[in-house]
Structure 1
Amino acid sequence: MTAAFVDLADTLVDDFDPVDFLYRVAEHCTSLLDISDAGVMLAPLGGPLRLVAATSERVRLVELFELDAAQGPCLAAYQDGVPVSHDLTVSGQWPEFTGRAHKEGYLSVYAAPVRLREETLGVLNLFRRIPAPLPEIDQQLARALADATAISLFQQTTLDHHRTLSAQLQQALTTRSIVEQCKGFLTARQHTDPDTAFQRLRTYARHHQRRIADVAADIVAGTLTVEDGPPQRPAKRPTPPVG
């Protein structure tokens, strides 16, 4: 937990990559919390909420469906600025989103706004495959991770007084588009699935200490080849014994 918060605080660098940072946020969520998948949505100032990072292709599709349908707990958490816990086995509220998420195997979701004081930048979306709300201790940690994410994004703007937070968030969305192109390229080229393709991309970028966006652009341009290999996933927190 300490290592995760230190990692999220380490943003005052010249080559700060907002997309790589937000993928790390999502990965820390899956490692520290009792969840199956996580997604991060952000909204450039004055713009609509957009998906920036997701830990799997399944959750990415659910998140995109939620944005397209303009309904769901993640949108509610962003609009109201307060956390939302939702049981996906109950179809009364947000029926279209609930049905799609349930179809993908998710049975509950917790959404924590990425918020600093009165400014809401986005939302952390945490999905579970069991029909139970996120434990209270995990809800508290999720809110702390969301707050740390907001502080880090604001803090990073001090490197350059001419850069605005809105420009950084727009850069994140642009970079994500490059990453998605690369995922599609690797999926077709290596005859694998999008999740495996992304893990190979992330593993290569980490191993060579390069920005994920730069590696993705080189792969799409044909100037870099990432060999097939087993993907590396973040360690999962062990489930505590019952009783």
Structure 2
Amino acid sequence: MPSSPFTQPDPPSRNGLSGLPREARITAALIDLADTLVDDFDPAEFFYRVAEHCMNLLDIGDAGVMLAPADGSLRLVAASSERVRLVELFELDASEGPCCTAFQQAVAVDHTIDSVAASRWPRFTARARPAGYTSVHATPIRLRRETIGVLNLFRRVPGPLLEADRHLARALADATAISLLQQTTLDQHRTVRTQLETALVTRTVIEQAKGFLTARHGTDPDTAFHHMRTHARRHHLRLADFAREIVDGTITLPPPSGTDNAPATT
């Protein structure tokens, strides 16, 4: 008898966790994103988890999450690397690119980054190509009939995102919206908007702490952020609160080399 696909592990991947069937990893990710009905729900950490699940499950090189607060303009709230963060910020500043179009038109957008396609978004393409990206898939995050953000998926290998991955990206975007909706009470719309505003404010604090640790430890921004986030999760600290204490100087985080298990000192 042929073996069941649910019992066969996926081959090792540079993105995902090896040794588990794809279905099991997808289920675990959706359950994790649904687990927002807790007293200490952390919006900032939640959106970084969304980007992390995209990286673990999809054949992509980087992921970013953009959201729109009350004024309707997109803001970057989470990115899988410093490289994609800079490209995303440039796209927002230039107000052109697949992510902006996906948000404005509420449709998924595919964009191949090459000289042929450069005429559509020339400034975005000119910035994304030197960063090593070959294509982008942008999926809108929709809350009922309202578009509240975009999942941005960047590839660094030739070819567009596979059809199966496009459907999974849509599912992750829907799970993100549903998870935010779960946090609402009587005034659902206002509560979601408050969470988006909170995520945007805390992102600034997190970026400040990342820059502080980069300079203090003489490391790169990605390593600094990974070290900060790992310590916060390991010691059950809210990421934004921990970042604020680093910036304020009330907590000193030791250098990352071999000291992830060491407690922060006050």
1:139 equivalenced with 2:166 (yes/no): yes
Structure 2 gap ranges (5+):
1-25, 259-266
Post-superposition offset of 1:163: 5.5
Q: How many Å apart are 1:171 and its aligned residue?
A: 0.5
- Distance in 1 separating the partners of 2:229 and 2:125: 30
1:184 counterpart residue number: 211
Following superposition, the deviation at residue 92 of structure 1 comes to: 2.1
| Aligned counterpart, 2:43 | 18
Task: Tell me whether 1:165 sits opposite 2:192 in the alignment.
Answer: yes
Q: Distance in 1 between matches of 2:51 and 2:45?
A: 10
Q: Return the offset for 1:155.
A: 1.4
Q: For the residues of structure 2 that align with 1:165 and 1:108, how far apart are their CA atoms? A: 31
Greater displacement, 40-49 / 59-68: 40-49
Q: Which of residues 206, 215, 219 in structure 1 aligns to 2:246?
A: 219
Q: Distance in 2 between matches of 1:206 and 1:223?
A: 18
One-letter amino acid matched to 2:170 = R
CA RMSD in angstroms comes to 1.6
Q: Say whether the 8 Å CA contact 2:185–2:191 is kept in structure 1.
A: no
2:147 aligns with 120
Q: CA deviation at 1:112?
A: 0.4
Deviation at 1:196, TM superposition (A): 0.5
The one of 226, 232, 237 aligned to 1:199: 226
2:100 corresponds to 1:75: yes
Q: Name the % identity.
A: 66
Q: Which runs of 5+ in 1 are unaligned?
A: 232-243
Q: SS of 2:185's equivalent? A: helix
Q: Deviations over 1:20-71 (max 9, x none)?
A: 1000000000000000110000001333110000010000000000000000
Out of 98, 114, 137, the residue aligned to residue 125 of structure 2 is 98
Partner residue, 1:45: 70
Q: Return the offset for 1:16.
A: 1.2
The 5 A counterparts of 1:26-37 are: 26-37=51-62
Shift of 1:164: 2.1
Alignment equivalent of 1:153, drawn from 180, 183, 188: 180
Which structure 2 residues correspond to residues 56-71 of structure 1 after superposition, within 5 A? 56-71=81-96
| Residue 19 (structure 1) shift | 1.0
CA distance in 1, matches of 2:230, 2:33: 19
Which has the higher Rg, Structure 1 or Structure 2? Answer: 2
The one-letter amino acid paired with 1:47 is: G
Amino acid at match of 2:81: S
The number of equivalent residue pairs is 231
TM-score of the superposition, structure 2-length normalised? 0.84
Q: Quickly say closer, same or farther: Cα 1:230–1:84, change in 2 above 3 A.
A: farther
Q: Aligned-pair distance for 1:223?
A: 1.6
Paired letter, 1:65: F
Q: Tell me which amino acid in the other structure corresponds to 1:98.
A: T
Partner of 1:158, secondary structure, is coil
Q: What secondary structure, in the 3-state scheme, does the structure 2 residue paired with 1:41 have?
A: strand
C-alpha distance in 2 between matches for 1:162 and 1:117? 11
Structure 1 segments of 4+ aligned residues over 6 angstroms from their partners: 159-162
Alignment pair present for 1:5 and 2:30: yes
* Change in CA separation of 1:23 and 1:184 when aligned onto 2, cut-off 3 Å: same
Please state whether the residue corresponding to 2:141 is helix, strand or coil. Answer: strand
TM-score, length-scaled by structure 1: 0.91
1:129 and 1:80 mapped to 2: Cα distance?
Answer: 25
Deviation of 1:159 after TM superposition, in Å, equals 8.5
CA shift digits 1:67-118 (9 cap, x unpaired):
0000000000001111001001131210100110001111100000001331
Letter of the 2:191 partner, please give it: T
